[in-house]
């Protein structure tokens, strides 16, 4: 059975309540009206066993959560990522357990936090579309965590009540906190903070919003907002206007792209691959992400994957001569000569007056056409 409709008619809260009361098993997909934002929640007999979210404030990563909790080191996370690159079907958390870096109960705690924060974010959506597909068996029987939907709804309601007070000084998680200027007439404020408040204060730089600080610390946006509310109230911190969501995301994506490009140039394709896997999920509409992703796949000699990445880049930016050029070389390596010729022809057509910069493309295109003719002749001989 499929249940679907707009969130304006049946809220996310109502959908969860319906699935909880009817003890449904299946997959709930949510799509926001904001481009690139979506969420998926797995239910098993009314209980939530998994949740993920794509978009600018995507699902908190298990690695960050465990790092923040002091359960793993940066080195252990890097090693786990390398293993996952070699064995992509394995779950990241399970690799850490097998490595002996964490205990199974540490992983369960991190997964529970991940699910809770994702669901609380999804429950805020008021516009969009939902679709639930019922299944006979659990969509993910190996999951380690099961949370009653009712308890998630109750916690969400509590947060909404507290946000009413917090919002008086901290409107939402997109605002940017900054250290307040010192009022010399009043003297320096007396600072008596708990350890978790010091951690938040140490991350406040006047550039990052609450979502980014929460991601860095591996804690919930709600907890960061509560702490900032207290810091604002005591005059230690002030809230400045937030840039648009697009500006924030673009800045973060550009920094990550720059780092991935540096890693590729340094011969560290595997590490660049990890960053680009995250970017492909978080910025699925940015052609430069897939262009660089294809280059990394080429460096790893994963030509079919490179072909798919360059094809996506061309799909997103059909007028990019560079994407067409790269697509051609990937196609040759993947054994698709016809597609290579088509891509290189498009590259030269799009280059226009810059044709001299694509002299190599012109040469390989001419050679490819000769090879294409000879292959066709050989086929006639053989038939």
Say which DSSP state 302 is in: -
Give the closest residue to 32 by CA, choosing from 114, 112, 123, 142. 123
Rounded to the nearest 5 degrees, what angle is found at the Cα of 311, between the Cα atoms of 299 and 56? 90
**What angle, 0 to 180 degrees and rounded to 10, lies between the N-to-C axes of helices 287-299 and 269-282?**
150
- Per residue of the chain (383 residues), what is the pLDDT tens digit? 578 889 888 899 999 999 999 999 999 999 887 656 788 999 999 999 999 887 656 666 788 788 877 788 888 888 888 888 888 888 888 899 999 999 999 999 889 988 998 898 898 888 889 999 999 888 877 778 899 998 999 988 888 888 778 888 888 887 889 988 876 655 555 667 888 888 889 889 888 888 888 877 777 788 899 999 988 888 888 988 655 544 445 555 676 788 888 888 888 888 788 788 877 877 788 889 999 999 999 998 999 989 999 999 998 888 888 899 999 999 999 989 999 999 998 888 887 644 444 678 888 888 888 888 888 887 777 66
pTM (2 d.p.): 0.55
The per-residue pLDDT for range 325-356, each reduced to its tens digit, is 999 999 999 989 999 999 998 888 887 644 44
Task: Calculate Rg over the CA atoms of the chain.
Answer: 25
Q: Using one digit for the tens of pLDDT, what is the confidence trace for 49-75?
A: 999 887 656 666 788 788 877 788 888
* Core vs surface per residue 345-382: b (16+ CB within 10 A) or e: bbbbebbeeeeeebeebeebbeebeeeeeeeeeeeeee
Q: Is the dihedral of CA 222, 223, 225, 229 positive or negative?
A: positive
Structural domains in the chain, CATH included, are 2-160 (no CATH), 167-242 (1.10.10), 258-382 (1.25.40.10)
CB atoms within 10 A of CB 72: 23
| CA 113, chain centre distance (Å) | 17
pLDDT digits (tens, 9 = 90+) for 182-219: 766 555 556 678 888 888 898 898 888 888 888 777 77
Residue 356 DSSP symbol? G
């Amino acid at each position: 059975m499929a249940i679907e409709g707009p969130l304006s008619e049946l809220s996310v809260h109502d959908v969860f309540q319906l699935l909880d009361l009817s003890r449904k098993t299946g997959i709930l997909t949510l799509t926001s009206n904001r481009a690139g934002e979506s969420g998926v929640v797995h239910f098993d007999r009314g209980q939530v066993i998994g949740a993920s979210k794509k978009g600018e404030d995507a699902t908190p990563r298990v690695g960050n959560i465990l790092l923040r909790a002091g359960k793993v080191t940066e080195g252990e996370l890097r090693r786990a990522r390398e293993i996952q690159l070699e064995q992509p079907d394995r779950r990241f958390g399970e690799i850490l357990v097998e490595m002996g870096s964490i205990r199974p109960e540490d992983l369960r705690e991190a997964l529970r936090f991940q699910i809770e924060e994702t669901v609380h974010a999804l429950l805020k959506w008021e516009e969009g579309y939902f679709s639930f597909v019922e299944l006979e068996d659990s969509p993910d029987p190996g999951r380690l965590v099961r949370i009653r939907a009712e308890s998630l709804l109750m916690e969400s309601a509590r947060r909404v009540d507290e946000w009413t007070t917090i919002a008086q000084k901290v409107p939402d998680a997109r605002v940017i906190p900054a250290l307040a200027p010192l009022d010399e007439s009043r003297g320096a404020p007396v600072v008596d903070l708990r350890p978790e408040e010091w951690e938040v204060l140490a991350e406040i730089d006047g550039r990052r919003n609450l979502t980014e600080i929460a991601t860095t610390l591996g804690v919930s946006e709600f907890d960061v907002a509560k702490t900032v509310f207290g810091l604002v109230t005591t005059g230690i911190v002030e809230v400045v206007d937030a840039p648009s969501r697009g500006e924030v995301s673009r800045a973060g994506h550009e920094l990550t792209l720059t780092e991935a490009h540096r890693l590729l140039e340094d011969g560290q394709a595997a590490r660049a691959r990890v960053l680009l896997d995250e970017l492909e999920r978080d910025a699925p509409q940015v052609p430069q992400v897939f262009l660089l992703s294809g280059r990394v796949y080429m460096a790893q000699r994963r030509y079919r994957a490179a072909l798919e990445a360059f094809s996506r880049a061309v799909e997103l930016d059909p007028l990019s001569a560079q994407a067409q050029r790269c697509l051609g070389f990937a196609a040759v390596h993947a054994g698709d000569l016809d597609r290579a010729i088509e891509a290189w022809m498009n590259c030269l057509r799009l280059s226009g007056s810059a044709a001299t910069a694509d002299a190599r493309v012109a040469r390989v295109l001419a050679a490819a056409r000769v090879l294409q003719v000879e292959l066709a002749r050989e086929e006639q001989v053989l038939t």
